[in-house]
A and B are shown apart, each in its own frame.
Chain A
Amino acid sequence: NAGVTQTPKFQVLKTGQSMTLQCAQDMNHEYMSWYRQDPGMGLRLIHYSVGAGITDQGEVPNGYNVSRSTTEDFPLRLLSAAPSQTSVYFCASSRGVRRTEAFFGQGTRLTVV
C-alpha cells in the first residue's frame, strides 16, 4: 500500500518557469490538500479538494493552480515560478466528511533560482 506518493522529490527551477508537482493516493480518500512548509512557519494550506471536480483555496493560493479530475490525483501547478515559492511542498489526503487524520506524502523540495 503506497499511501500518498509525491513526485518529484527534488526540483530546481529558474524564475518564470512553470511546472507541475504530482500527488497520487491509493486509499480512495475524498479529501486532498497541498501545504507548503517554510522555516518557522509550520504548514500553510495552499489549495484543497473535497472530491473529484471540486477545489478551493487555502491560506496561500496565489501563484498556484490545482485541478481534481480523479479521486486519486491532485496535481499542483506553478504557473510562473518565483524565488518566494522556494519551499518544501506536502500533499495530504484524508477520508470522508470529517477530513481528519490526514496522511502526508514525503514532500517535494523546490528551489527557484
Chain B
Amino acid sequence: GQQLNQSPQSMFIQEGEDVSMNCTSSSIFNTWLWYKQDPGEGPVLLIALYKAGELTSNGRLTAQFGITRKDSFLNISASIPSDVGIYFCAGQRSGNTPLVFGKGTRLSVIA
C-alpha cells in the first residue's frame, strides 16, 4: 500500500495567509516531488527535490527535502484564490523504482 503520509488532509485558509503541508515516510526516499491538481485536470509538477536538506522555491512556493530523507515540506506564501486544488507529494526510493504518492492535501482559499 501507499507509504507516504501526507498532512493535513484538507485546509481552509483566508486569502493572503501562508500555508504549510508535509509528507512523511517510514522509509528513505532519494527524490521528493510536489504536484498540484486542479479540478478535472491531471497533476502538474510544482517542485522537484533531489538532495537531502535541499530547499527549492518556485515563485510563492517553497519546498524542502528533509535531512533524514524521510520527509518533505511545502510552503505557500500569501495564498491567492488560484492556489485552490489538491497538492500531492510523491517520492522515489531509487532510480529504478516507480513514484509513490501521498493521498493529497485539499486546499480551499476563502477570499
Q: Which residues of A contact B (CB under 8 A)?
A: 4, 33, 35, 40-45, 48, 50, 58-59, 90, 92, 97-107
Cα separation A48 to B98 with both chains bound (whole Å): 8
Distance in angstroms from B65 CB to nearest chain A CB is 12
Instruction: Give the number of residue pairs across the A-B interface with Cβ within 8 Å.
Output: 67
The answer to the question of B73 belonging to the interface, with a C-beta cut-off of 8 Å to chain A, is no
Task: Known A43-B88, A59-B2, A97-B95; judge A103-B102 contact (CB<8 A).
Answer: no
Beta-carbon contact of B42 and A100 below 8 Å: no
Distance in angstroms from A100 CB to nearest chain B CB is 5
Show 27 A/B contacts (Cβ-Cβ < 8 Å), sorted by A: A33-B98, A33-B99, A35-B101, A41-B2, A41-B103, A42-B88, A42-B102, A42-B104, A45-B99, A58-B98, A59-B2, A90-B42, A90-B43, A99-B96, A99-B98, A100-B48, A100-B92, A101-B45, A101-B48, A102-B45, A102-B99, A103-B45, A104-B35, A104-B42, A104-B43, A104-B44, A105-B42
